[in-house]
Structures are given as structure tokens and as C-alpha cells.
Structure 1
Amino acid sequence: MRPDTAMPTDPPTTRPRTNVFEELESQVRSYCRSWPATFTTAAGSTLQAENGRSYLDFFAGAGALNYGHNHPVLLEALLDYLRSGGIVHSLDMHTAAKRDFLTTFRDRILVPRDLDYKLMFPGPTGTNSVESALKLARKVTGRQHILSFTNAFHGMTLGALSVTGNSMKRNGAGLPLTNSSKIPYDDYFSGATEDFLWLERVLSDSGSGVDKPAAIIVETVQGEGGLSAARPEWLRALSELCRTHEILLILDDVQAGCGRTGEFFSFEESGIVPDIVCLSKSISGFGLSMALTLIRPQLDQWEPGEHNGTFRGQNTSFVTGTAALNEFWSDDTFAEGVRERAAELHDGLAQIASGYAGAVVKGRGFLSGIKFQDASAASKIAAASYERGLLVETSGPEDEVLKTMPALTISSDELRSGVDIIAAAAAEVLGAPVMQEAAPDADMRGGAYNRGTDSRGEEGK
């Protein structure tokens, strides 16, 4: 007997339009649980839902939309390229679009910063970049072990998870994550213990029983780990330690890079030059998939095809990435504007934090937020903000930090509107603010490391 193929009794139009997400999509989805609207269009820092409501965006695609949604300059470049019949998919073959991107990245980013890197296209996402960096470090040094930091997040594939600190994400691996150890991030001991004291001792002691690692991987700002921001002197100390012991330094700039902290690379402020740099998220400028791994030339020891991937040559990403570099990074004007508006954001967050005992501002630039004394407050405030028309997420192992990540192109008026929504949401969740002394900035700490020079042999700035 043939199966019954009759149409359902109820016409599809009578069923809720969101049912298909519940019926077909995996339980693994997460953002849509906090923001259940069905979004249709977007421009700049505003998203439109199909019910007609607008939302101000303090999320920016988890950092993949540094220049906002559908930036007109990038959009026109993309549409012109598609209409021209340009190559879309090309693996690692030569294309005009890739040549333009490589040339522009060299001229706009590397040369002005006196950086000498080879560029590798490791695959479409940040975790691909991290995987390639870990593999290359082990290949070049002949060592297996990697050191990473408490509360770090580097991606969801197995190698990246092995250097990630978050236990919930690590548990998803389904097997032991080995060949990696965690060491304390800046201020993990609240300044009571010098962070590198133990590591320096065991690396210098041939009887310590601790094997020298291939590399140390670090974020300058722990975007998913609670917005802890490493001090420039701490990063210089780390770089000097790696150089002294011939350990490669990998800088994960996937979320904090491409201008989010006020410079193109988040490590520029410290003056260090990492051996390997991981970039993704906003490197395409338009939310299209793209990742880069920057490698010191002497470390580029891959055999042809030793690390590859079908989607490492997306020419649409090259086109929008080139347009973004030309539009925003031809000089320092854009970065100066980012720093000015980031200071406005910081001031607004500090004013909110000052009204609640124990609240502190964390992070750097447009990767900043508030840690409240009550660890559950951030999630509640984020939910209340959504109800008021603002998309803002949380960060940290217990989601204890309210994390703001607006587009770098956001206007001062939009920034103020978002901060006002957060202030109203905080008052709803925690009660009216109590005027007191300005809240301290959790990442403006005293103390300095006196370790001489940075990794370029220059005096630490």
C-alpha cells in the first residue's frame, strides 16, 4: 500500500511562521532563544523584524559586522563584482579579486605598521585560522604542547577547543582534549602573584619536568571569557618570555581585531609583534566568511596542500574585504573616530556602573561591558534590553558580564540611545541606581613589568 501523501488538513498559512525553526533546526541554536524575532532587513546599526519592529544592534554579528549591516560602499562593490560575472569560488587558484585583496592588505595594513607577514587563507572561519596556527607551530618547532590562558576562547573545532577554557564548550568535544595546558591570564590572581613567575622558573629549570611548549596562544581581550583585557606591559612581558625561550607567540585577533579596540590589530598598543596572528569575523567587512592566518616568513614551512579547504578562496569576501580596507584604513581618520566613540561608550557604561555597588567596566574599545556584583544580572539586563529594542549579549563563564559590541560605524546618537536602553534595563532589573563614586575600571590596573624590550627589540611603550 502506498503511504498517505495527502496534504495536512490545516493549510500551512494558518501555522505560526516560526514553527519551521522548532521543527527542523537543531537544539544547538542559541542566539534566537534570546532574540526570538524573525529579522528581515538591516542597515547600519539597525535591524528590522518582519513584525515591523526595529532593533538597535549592539552585537554586530558577534564582531563580524564591524562596519555595520549592508554598508553601501561595500554593497556596491559586491553587486558590481557579481554583475560582472566575476569568479565566486576558486579554492586557492589565482584570481584578480584575490590579487587586489593581497595588494591592498599589504599596502593599507602591513607596510604602514612595518609588519612582515605571509598571508594564509586557512578556511572560512576563525577556528580554521586557529587550527592552522596550532598545526604550524607544532610542525615548525617539533613540539606538541600548547599553552593557553584561563577563560580563553579560541573556537569550536577540536584543536581550538583544546586551548579554550570554557568547560561547557570543552564538554561538547566528546573526548579528552590533550596536548594543552592553561596558565593564568593577566590579573587572574588579582595582582597578588606575578603571573609569569612560575612559568619562567620551570622553563629555566632543566629539572622541572615541564616540557617546553611549541607555542602560547593569547587574546588581548577575552571576548567570550568575560572581557578581561591584558595590559600592554603584561603582553610585552609575555612576548619577551616567548622570545627568551624560543616559544612561538600566537595572537588570536579574531574578535578583537579589524579595528574593534581602536587600532586595526588589537596588539598594536602594546608594541609587540606576534609570530602568528589569527584574523576572521570582520576581515571581509560585510559579514561574509573569510579568515586569515598571518605568519612570520621564516615560519611558512607548509608543504603544498598540507592545510587546505574547499572554501578558502571566496572571491566575494576578497572584494568586500578590499573595499573595506580602502574605505576605512587608507589613513588614521577612521581609527581616530572609533577611539572617540569608544570613549563615549566607556563613559556611558561607567555612568551606569557607578550606580550599582560592585559593578565595574571591563574590556577595551568597542569590546566593552559591565560586570555586576550579582552574576545573574547581566543576562536579565540583556533580556530587558531586548524588550526595549536593543540587541546586546553577555560574556564570561557564568554570563556575568553585559557585553557591548556595536558596529564601529555607529553614530554618537545611536550609541547614546543604546546606553540609555541599558540604563533603563538595569534600573528595571536592579532597581534605581544609587549615586556614588564613579565605578572603577576593572582593566585599568596599576603595576608594571620591568622586562626591558618587546619582541622587536624596542623599548616597551
Structure 2
Amino acid sequence: MTLAAEPATGPTVPVPAPGVGTAAGASATAVLRRQRLRESAARTYARSFPIVPVRANGMTVEGADGRRYLDCLSGAGTLALGHNHPVVLAAIRRTLDSGAPLHLLDLATAEKDDFTTALFESLPPAFADGARVHFCGPAGTDAVEAALKLMQTATGRSGALAFTGAYHGMTAGSLALTGNVAVKEPLPGGGEVVRLPYPYGYRCPFGVGGDAGAELSATYVERLLDDPSGGVVPPAAMVLEVVQGEGGVVPAPDDWLRAMRRITAERGIPLIVDEVQTGVGRTGAMWAVEHSGIVPDAMVLSKAIGGSLPLAVVVYREEYDGWRPGAHTGTFRGNTLAMAAGAATLRYVAANGLAERASEVGGRIVERLRALAGELPAIGEVRGRGLMIGVELVDPAAEPDACGARPAAPELAVRVREACLARGLIVELGGRHDAVLRLLPPLTMTDEQAAAVLDRLADAVAAASAGVGAGTGTAAGSAGAGTAGAGAA
């Protein structure tokens, strides 16, 4: 299959050639070996992508051995503008050159004030009006913890409602909300969390699929909460994702989200929406809640809001602001560089219509992938919103269930990921059985890059399905092929 070239503004990411090796490649091998010896067994992405990146620009990453890759991981959705975007670099350099303090705990700075202004300007007006923001430790999991503590303080309750397939972080409270059993099993306790069925049409928890499954989910939630013998003590909050990311890129229907907002509002249960991965234009709107029009009581934000640097906040309705000073604190809440980079990112996304662009390009990619599913039966379902796209891989020889879904194929998914890497494409896995290819390219992705991603992905799925494995070779471009990076802005 012929691969489309990258845009003329940057170098071509060529079809990998076998046997390419350099002194730099040998050095990269040593770095990877030392990483295996020195770092913990919990490392993840390093296992999937045995490369040593040395340069990156836009959507292109170059390894120490000169091989180049199109990056559809984007720091798990952190890089809204891709790697080293000029606007982000200019904001960082300007801040460094100004002599501004880089660390000031939660003291007021011009950079923090500017970031807060840009953030509130980007939020849905009905939510931003009268809202408060709390700067957390620099990871989304700490913002989830803060949101939970905030609502526990406000309501005097301790429990929470969360959903199957959820992912909210790896610290204690966030992990209790997370659905993945494998990461929870070794740990004592699980918190007072009631697990509710998330509407997952392809693998419907009620065995009916489609809109009917979402309606059953909403009915189940409402009746469970109203049942005096249902076993659910009134909770401090409901926590949900508009599109489950780690859960396999599963978008919630807008009507279901509106039902959750109604159900929680009628029962005095605060609604926390986790927008850590869906925010800043990723789903085709600046914030994913805008698709349904719901107004939550709190939003948890991280990843892209820091412009590629660590930053996390919780924004909430001011009537919940009942904390005492120091109720949720942390050393690294005053990341000046991240605030400058984040403000620049938020304004660039808004000024250049990148959310709308994500909707347009993402829609075309999904359409092409769904057409491809007709040719490659290993593709069970293609779904997503904007540039948050999932391709669920299945065993085409197995019998489908009552909803038409065949068993997940995690081994095939691993082979496809390896075949993609061999073809110069970085994609990661997720979903209930790690059988979903997740595409999270930067919002600055060009049409030419989108075409190249599609071609490489199709070729990788076809090769892996045929049992070819990684295909021809493991290189993703020769060491001397052009300059590093491909600007996408």
C-alpha cells in the first residue's frame, strides 16, 4: 500500500527500511538497556515503544538513531499543539527571559492571573460565571482527589458514584474511582465507591446495545439511587468522563449525559466531570461537556491545559467553596512556565478554530476507518469524537454475541502496535482488554499527515491480521533523511 507523504512544510516520514543502523542507534540501545536496569517494573510506554526520542516538532518524533515517527499518542493527549509548537516555545522563552520566579507555591503572579483569565474565557459561560479554581499538584489524579475532597467537605458525605470502564488516576481516591481491576487488585481497600454501568454500545452491559442500552443505564442509575434497599448511601459526588479514554475511547451519548445531570441535580448529588483527556479541543469542542450542554458542579482539568508542561486544576461552582486554608495543598502548584505555556495554548486553540478543525478531521478519519472495517474484519468497531478515536480489534473467526460484537483480540492489538511502529507510526492501546488502538494526534495535524496515518494503520492491521507481524523491517526512516521534525502549525 502506498503511503501518503507528509506536507511540504516538513520532511517526509519514509517507509521503514530494514537493517538501518548507526552509532547513534547503538547508543540508543545502551540507553534503553540502562533504563531497563534502573527504572521500576511499573514503566509502561517504554515497553511499547523501545525508542529514544531526541528531537520532536509538531507531529514528528525523531529517535537517537535518526528514525522518524508520526506521533498519534501526543503524551496521552497532553500535546494539543504537538511537540515544541512555536507559540508554546515563545511563551516559555518570554517567561524565562523576564526573570519571573519559576516556583512560588500558590502566591499570586502575573502568569497565574493571565492563565486563569485565559482558562475562564475558554470555559462554557454558564459554568465559568461565578466559578472558582483550585491549583493542584501537577497531575490530573491530584485534581480528582481535590474535587472529591471538595465535595465531601461541602456535602458531609464520603462515598462516590463512578462507572465501569472509568479511569481517573492512580492515587488512592482516584484509583478507587477507576474501573480497571488489574491495577486495583494488589491494593487493600477500594473506597466507598458504587460502580454504575457506562453506556458502551458495542459491548453493552445490558446486552442490547445502541440507544436502548444507554436508556437502560440511565434507568438503572435512577432506580438504584431511589431504592431504599438498593444499598447506596447518599454519595458526595458522581464522577464521569464524557468520553472514556483509557476505557477504550467510548463516547457517552449526549442524552445520557443530560440524564445524569438531571438525576444528580434532583437528588442533590454534585456532578464532577473529568476533562483531563477530553479538554482543550480534543473532542471537537473546547470542552467535551459542550456537546451535551450540561453544566457540571466541578470540572477536573490537566494534560493539555499546561501546554505540554505539568499543570492540573479543579474548577467548581463557588457555592461549594467551603474549604479551610490548606485543605488541599501541595508544593508544585505554582508552575509558572506551565501557566504561561497553558495560557498560550488555550488562546491559540480558540483563535485558530482548532476544536472545529478536530471535529472535521476526526470525522473524516472515522469515516475512512469505518470503510476500512469492511475490508478488514479484524476491526470490530471504530468510534470516538473529534481527534479522540478508538479502533477496537476483534477475532474475526469467533462467533459474535447478541449485540454483534466478537471477542476482543489483545494479542492482535499488540502485533498491530508493533507493525505501526515499524511503519513510522506511534499508537497506543487501551480498552477493557487492551484491544483498542487509540489515536490522539495533535489538533494541528495536517490533511497529509492524516492520510499518512490512515495508510500506515491500514497496512499494519492488514499485515498483523495476516500473521506477518511487524512487516518489513523495524526502521522508520534513515538517519540522514531530511531535517528533524515536521512543523504542523
TM band (smaller chain): 0.7 to 0.9
Structure 1: gaps spanning 5 or more residues: 1-11, 433-461
Distance in 1 (CA, whole Å) between partners of 2:232 and 2:340 is 47
Match runs of 1:339-378 below 5 Å = 339-357=359-377, 359-374=380-395, 375-376=409-410, 377-378=412-413
Q: Where do 1:385-424 residues align within 5 Å?
A: 385-424=420-459
Contact kept, 8 Å, 1:91 with 1:311, in 2: the verdict is yes
> In 2, are the aligned partners of 1:110 and 1:116 still within 8 Å (CA)?
no
- The match for 2:324 is 303
Structure 1 CA distance for aligned equivalents of residues 28 and 368 of structure 2: 45
Q: Distance in 2 between matches of 1:402 and 1:209?
A: 37
Displacement of 1:167 after TM fit? 0.8
Deviates more, 1:24-33 or 1:146-155: 24-33
Please list, as runs of the form range in 1=range in 2, the aligned pairs for 1:19-418 lying within 5 A after superposition.
19-111=33-125, 115-172=129-186, 174-187=187-200, 188-189=205-206, 190=209, 191=212, 194-285=216-307, 287-330=308-351, 333-357=353-377, 359-374=380-395, 375-376=409-410, 377-418=412-453
Tell me what 2:398 maps to: none
TM-superposition CA deviations, 1:51-88 (whole Å, max 9, x none): 01111001000011011000001101111211221110
Size of the aligned set, in residue pairs, is 418
Report the CA distance between 1:144 and its aligned residue: 1.2
**Shift in Å at residue 344 of structure 1?**
2.0
- Verify the 8 A CA contact 1:342 1:366 in the aligned structure 2: yes
Tell me the distance in 2 between the aligned counterparts of 1:266 and 1:115: 18
Change (3 A) 1:369 1:201: closer
Q: 1:247 to 1:111 in 2, by over 3 A?
A: closer
Give percent identity, aligned residues only: 38
Amino acid at match of 1:140: A
- The Cα of 1:345 is off from its aligned counterpart by 1.7
Give the match's secondary structure for 1:18. Answer: helix
**What's 2:5 paired with?**
none
Partners of 2:417 and 2:255 in 1: CA distance: 33
CA distance in 1: counterparts of 2:143 and 2:292, whole angstroms: 22
Shift of 1:208: 4.3
Question: What is the alpha-carbon root mean square deviation over aligned residues?
Answer: 2.0
User: Which residue in the other structure is 2:16 paired with?
Assistant: none
Letter in 2 for 1:269: H
For the structure 1 residues 41 and 209, does the alpha-carbon distance in structure 2 shift closer, same or farther, using more than 3 Å as the test?
closer
Cα deviation 1:358-401 (Å, max 9, x = unaligned)? 62112211111211222222222111100111000111121111
Q: For 1:201 and 1:229, how far apart are their aligned partners in 2?
A: 23
Q: Which amino acid aligns with 1:414?
A: Q
The separation in 1 between residues aligned to 2:120 and 2:31, in whole angstroms, is 47
Supply the AA of the counterpart residue of 2:43.
R
What is the CA–CA distance in structure 2 between the aligned matches of 1:178 and 1:138, rounded to whole Å? 13
Structure 2: any 5+ residue segments left out of the alignment? Answer: 1-25, 396-408, 468-489
- Residue 427 in 1 paired to residue 462 in 2? yes
Secondary structure of 2:243's aligned partner? coil
Tell me how far 1:100 sits from its aligned partner: 1.1
User: In terms of mean alpha carbon deviation, does 195-204 or 312-321 score higher?
Assistant: 195-204
Are 1:227 and 1:368, in contact at CA under 8 Å, matched by a contact in 2? yes
Q: Measure, in 2, the Cα distance between the counterparts of 1:117 and 1:138.
A: 18
Change in CA separation of 1:77 and 1:13 when aligned onto 2, cut-off 3 Å: closer
